[in-house]
Amino acid sequence: MWKLIINSHFFTVIYPLVLVLSVILGAIIARKTWINKKIDWKSSGVDSSVVAIYSLLLSFTFFASNNLMRDRLVILNNMKDYSASIRKTSLFTGDSIQDATKKYLVGYLTILSDFKTHYLKSEIQLKLDIDDLNGHYLSALSSMAKRDPLLKSDALTLIPYINQLNGSFIRFVHSYDVRTPPLIMILLVFSSLLIGILVGFLNSFNNKTHYLVPVIFIVIVSLCIQSIRDLDNPYIGSIQPSFADFSRQLDIINGSR
């Protein structure tokens, strides 16, 4: 349930509003329990420590989410290299293997160039479609190698690249399920609301109330939480991997003989 709330578009709008309310709540608490009773507030320094702890938690989560996104991009770039290697290697094989490889790559790159649509439609079906492509291609290579022993060495040169491409594909699909643990996100959100109350509380004790610090706090924390959500959601967030290179590879292959 919590994962659905974090992933929803409503969270993008609701969270900053709730953060504003937490700051207002802190100001109300300060006035009712301290200012109206003319009780002086003296900071013990613990409040700064609390904010520092939250800042560390936020930065570590940001760093971890960024690493997850970077890992996806590395795997994606590897897939581009492996698919290109398969195509280049096939050019030095027999015509029958070239034709089978071209058909295989066209099917593979068609799926990868529109990966997001296939993934959101059905992750299981996406894997089945790739397995079907591999099954037909490997069967074709095996049949050609049995009919003509000279083609066996050609087929064997392609196998390592095929294994690398499919291994990277599986890792890439799995990376979409690797997320910041829900407990950490819950901790970040609720801690930010508590810090918001603290900011509103402390800000109320100034001789002249100003809104610069609360506004900066709300903007920075909201943007950080939104960025973590985006990095965690490569198929929903605004920070998404680009599959344009697969489309370009597909155009090149379709344009060849």
Structure tokens at 252: 């090149």
pLDDT of 175-194, one tens digit each? 888 888 888 888 899 999 99
Token pair listed for 256: 């060849």
Say if residues 92 and 240 touch (Cβ distance below 8 Å).
no
Predicted pLDDT of residue 3: 63
pLDDT, residue 153, reads 86
Task: Tell me the pLDDT tens digit for each residue of 32-79.
Answer: 876 666 666 666 667 788 888 888 888 898 888 888 888 999 999 999
- The first and second tokens of residue 161, run together, are 């690249």
Count each helix (H run) and each strand (E run) in the chain, helices first: 10, 0
Q: What pLDDT band is residue 242 in, cutting at 50, 70 and 90?
A: confident
pLDDT at residue 37, rounded to an integer: 61
pLDDT digits (tens, 9 = 90+) for 100-141: 999 999 999 999 998 888 887 888 898 999 999 999 999 998
Nearest to 62 by CA among 220, 243, 235: 220
* C-beta of residue 108 within 8 angstroms of C-beta of residue 85: no
Between 21 and 42, the more confident residue is 21
Mean pLDDT of all residues in 81-89: 92
Residue with the larger pLDDT of the pair 99 and 45: 99
**Using CA atoms, how far apart are residues 23 and 201, in angstroms rounded to an integer?**
7
What is the pLDDT averaged over residues 197-220? Answer: 83
